Amino acid sequence: MSDDFSNDDSASFGDDDQTLVTKEGLKQLKEELGQLKTSGRQEVAQRLKEAISYGDLSENSEYEEAKNEQAFVEGRILELERKIKNAKIISGKKDSKGKSIEVGSTVYVNNKTSGKDGEKYTIVGSTETNPFDNKVSNESPLGKSFLNHKKGDTVSVETPSGMIKYEITKVA
């Protein structure tokens, strides 16, 4: 019975969840983790020390803020450690023959609905999503609709503003 409980306990932390990242994304996660473990913790410790020096902790808003920041930093450290531990490096260069779109692929499309040609999207894991760099999550409606398609396919995507059709012109 206790073996079942410990298995359930570890599963609740999502240890089996893979984090899909590019090499660059994993490097960024590791850099953030290193920064938080060193200067991030030091800054919080300094703020706590200062706040404690003000006296009565029961009515000390600086102390409460510093404790909240400490909890955030420690929570983020745990989250980053889990993501790094479960990281799976993705690359869009696995299938050079069929060029089927997968996580890590860069997709060039023509928007058939708006007539805008030459749009480019990179399909990434959810931790690397950045709409300003046209990096879309494999879990987003756009990312999901492109997955497993090839050059020449037309894909329809349901968006809040309606259905949009894309023609895939290149997969890299």
Strands (E), 8-161: 19-21, 87-89, 106-111, 119-124, 135-137, 154-159
Residue 109's closest CA among 67, 155, 141?
Answer: 155
Q: Is residue 33 part of a domain?
A: yes
Q: How high is the pLDDT of residue 95?
A: 45
Q: How high is the pLDDT of residue 156?
A: 93
Q: Do both 12 and 71 map to the same domain?
A: yes
Entry pTM: 0.62
Domain count, the chain: 2
Domain edge (last residue) among 58, 89, 120: 89
Average pLDDT over residues 28-51: 93
**Under a CB-based contact definition with an 8 Å cutoff, are residues 128 and 21 in contact?**
yes
Q: How high is the pLDDT of residue 9?
A: 39
**Under a CB-based contact definition with an 8 Å cutoff, are residues 172 and 158 in contact?**
no
Whichever domain contains 127, its CATH number is 3.10.50.30
Q: What 3-state DSSP class applies to 171?
A: strand
Q: Do both 7 and 81 map to the same domain?
A: yes
Q: How high is the pLDDT of residue 98?
A: 57
